[in-house]
Amino acid sequence: MPLTPELYQEILLDHSKRPRAQGLLSAPTHRAEAKNPEAGDEVRLTLAAGVDGKIAVVGWEAAGSAVLRASCSLMSERIAGLTVSEAQALAGRFREFLTGAEPAANEVDFWEDLAALGGIRHLPPRVKCAMLPWRALLAVGPV
Amino acid sequence: MIPNKQAGAALEERPGADVEAWRKDFPVLGRTINGKPLVYLDNGASAQKPRAVIERIERYYSTEHANIHRGVHHLSQEATAAYEAARETVARYFNAAEARECVFTRGATEAINLVASSWGGANLTAGDEMLLTVMEHHANIVPWQMLESRLGIKLVVAPISDAGELLVDEWEKLIGPRTKLAAFCHASNSLGTLNPARELIAKAHAHGIPVLLDGAQSAAHLKIDVRELDCDWFVCSGHKIFGPTGIGVLYGKADLLGAMPPYQGGGDMIDRVSFAGTTYRGLPERFEAGTPNIAGAVGLAAALDYLDGIGHDAIAAQEQDLLAYATEQLSQIEGLTIYGRAPNKVALVSFMIEGIHPNDIGTMLDADGIAVRTGHHCTMPLWERFGLTGTVRASFAFYNTRAEVDALVASLKKIRRLFLG
């Protein structure tokens, strides 16, 4: 899927205006928070994993930019159904996608809508915003 | 003092402005960013460089470079002469009484650290107070906080009004028997507020307190006269006044500067080195340890000569026109709040649009080729005072135009529609 600036903008705006999974879970199995004091960004992340170890529900709260909220929202959709360690492996791959070498076309396809966040790859301060929920995901511990 | 044109009702475009000719002096202004003509409104962070500066640095490295102050060969003498001529230019530009009162540093930050470490280390003791303001740049806070933990001095912070003006009476009331030093910005890099420096310095002197004036943000906009201001120290950064990065100036009154111990040790600052004891040189070499940024100094002098050539009245007129026009045009955007409403401001506008994060605004302006600064602008305590984490800041230079303000406003309206429409 060619990622035009318009499409990037559309996905980002959609997820920042109508964020999925916003709000913390009342009975999570995992929780973490991450901060970026330089930008005043904050994310709190909660997960509820089932007996099979798979993430059933995600809930988050964030203070920060549209890029940050969209990243929280898109991540929540993507990690549902994965185990926590699978989700964390995905976080590592996403970091590589945003900060590593220019990704190949198939890697862009792999990320589906999340690839929209690749539109800020060239702006490292914005990459920090986009990575914040993923940093929380990498830091989650059992409640 | 800059006249208050923000309140002016009639915003007629200034006749006879030479902006188009000035713009041709700055090669980078011909660039495109993301397929759009560059609209550079981040001058408060760093100003662009005129050809006169770029060519001067090239000529220095092409024909004049050697190490200074120690060679017996011809080229070293030429480089020394160029470096010291740059110091003379700086002294003349800021109207210092003597060139030796002007020390080259890496920038305003290093100049403040130099005074804090050298003068502060020699003259301040536990329980002494120094007076700052809440609108200071981190560079005029953190070096003093380091003294706070090193020596046990106390930092006293003067408040500002909601419009972003220093509360001068409150400031003066904070001067007490233990106050040993005052330091404040000439112009706020985040609000644009131009502080009444001369008045504040006179008040401090009446209490017997020396003043460090942080000119990092004012020097690009105003002709600075250190003797008229009567500041004890003045600091600024070359790159914000159209000169190179990595060079700045510490001006200090000769008697004060001459009594200060060295800041860094090394070559060039010594008289005689022996393991039995070392003696130091006088001003300004005592504060310039190691091979200095010779090309930077020479480039800075070229920038100052260039500004003198344009003329400070012309610069002030163009910038104040842009400030008034930008203030008026931005105010018409729904949900936009300007922070910093002082009657006397340098040409920058700090603002927020309700419901949109400054970083998102900055990123989307960039897509339209418009460069602004977003975030806390290195003044976190100031934004805490306003209950914010930062703003969007458009900061102008004399080479900016009303058309560029129009581009900014059009892009902001588009962003607002996208996010909130």
Give residue A3's pLDDT.
53
Mean of pLDDT values over A75-83: 97
Of residues B398, B406, B317, the one with CA closest to residue B8: B317
Of residues B355, B378, B375, the one with CA closest to residue B363: B375
Is cis: bond before B284, omega within 30 of 0?
A: yes
**Partner-chain contact B363 A126, CB within 8 Å:** yes
Exposure string over B171-180, b if 16+ CB within 10 A, otherwise e: bbebbeeebb
Angle at which helices B51-59 and B294-310 cross, to 10°: 150
**Partner-chain contact B359 A5, CB within 8 Å:** no
Q: Three-state secondary structure along B207-240?
A: CCCCEEEECCCCCCCCCCCHHHHCCCEEEEEHHH
| SS3 state at A7 | helix
| SS3 state at B40 | strand
- CA pair distance B170, B167, nearest whole angstrom: 5
Partner residue opposite A5 with nearest CB, options B357, B367, B419: B367
- CA pair distance B421, B413, nearest whole angstrom: 10
- Map tokens 């003066």 to a residue: B172
pLDDT tens by residue, B348-376: 999 999 999 999 999 999 999 999 999 99
DSSP string, A40-108: TEEEEEEEEE-TTSBEEEEEEEEES-HHHHHHHHHHHHHHTTSBHHHHHHHHHHHHHHHHSSPPPHHHH
Q: What is the ipTM of this complex?
A: 0.89
Residues of B in contact with A38 (CB under 8 A): 375-376
- CA pair distance B394, B72, nearest whole angstrom: 49
By the CB < 8 Å criterion, does B382 face chain A?
A: no
Nearest Cα of chain B lies from the Cα of A135 at a distance, in angstroms, of: 19
**Partner-chain contact A40 B360, CB within 8 Å:** no
Q: What is the DSSP letter of B188?
A: -
State what percent of residues in chain A have pLDDT above 70: 97
Q: How far is CA B65 from CA B39, B247, B399, in A?
A: 35, 17, 31
**Partner-chain contact B363 A67, CB within 8 Å:** yes
Q: Where are the domains of chain B?
A: 19-50+311-420, 54-308
- CA pair distance B266, B3, nearest whole angstrom: 47
Is B378 annotated in the active site? Answer: yes
Residue A2: pLDDT above 90?
A: no
Q: Which residue of A has its CA nearest to B358?
A: A65
- The CATH number for B54-308, chosen from 3.40.640.10, 3.40.50.450, 3.50.50.60, 3.40.50.720, is 3.40.640.10
Give me the residues paired with residue A47 across strands: A30, A58
**Partner-chain contact B418 A13, CB within 8 Å:** yes
Give residue B28's pLDDT.
98
By the CB < 8 Å criterion, does B381 face chain A?
A: no
Contact (CB, 8 A) for B198 and B228: yes
Q: Report the side by side order of strands in the sheet with A141-142.
A: A55-63, A41-49, A30-36, A141-142
Mean pLDDT by 10 residues, chain B (421 residues): 45 70 97 96 98 98 93 92 98 98 98 98 98 98 97 98 98 98 98 98 98 98 97 98 98 97 92 91 94 98 98 96 98 98 98 96 95 96 95 98 98 94 78
Q: What is the DSSP letter of B166?
A: B
The class level of CATH for B19-50+311-420 reads: alpha beta
Protein fold of A5-142: Sufe protein. Chain: A (3.90.1010)
- Map tokens 């020097």 to a residue: B219
Q: Which residue of A has its CA nearest to B380?
A: A38
Query: How many other C-beta atoms can be found within 10 angstroms of the C-beta atom of residue B257?
Result: 25
Residues of A in contact with B358 (CB under 8 A): 65
By the CB < 8 Å criterion, does B359 face chain A?
A: yes
Contact (CB, 8 A) for B346 and B194: yes
- CA pair distance B149, A28, nearest whole angstrom: 43
Query: How many other C-beta atoms can be found within 10 angstroms of the C-beta atom of residue A77?
Result: 15
Of residues A71, A79, A18, the one with CA closest to residue A47: A79
Contact (CB, 8 A) for B195 and B185: yes
Q: What is the DSSP letter of B169?
A: H
Residues of B in contact with A126 (CB under 8 A): 359, 363
Q: Where are the domains of chain A?
A: 5-142
**Partner-chain contact B419 A126, CB within 8 Å:** no
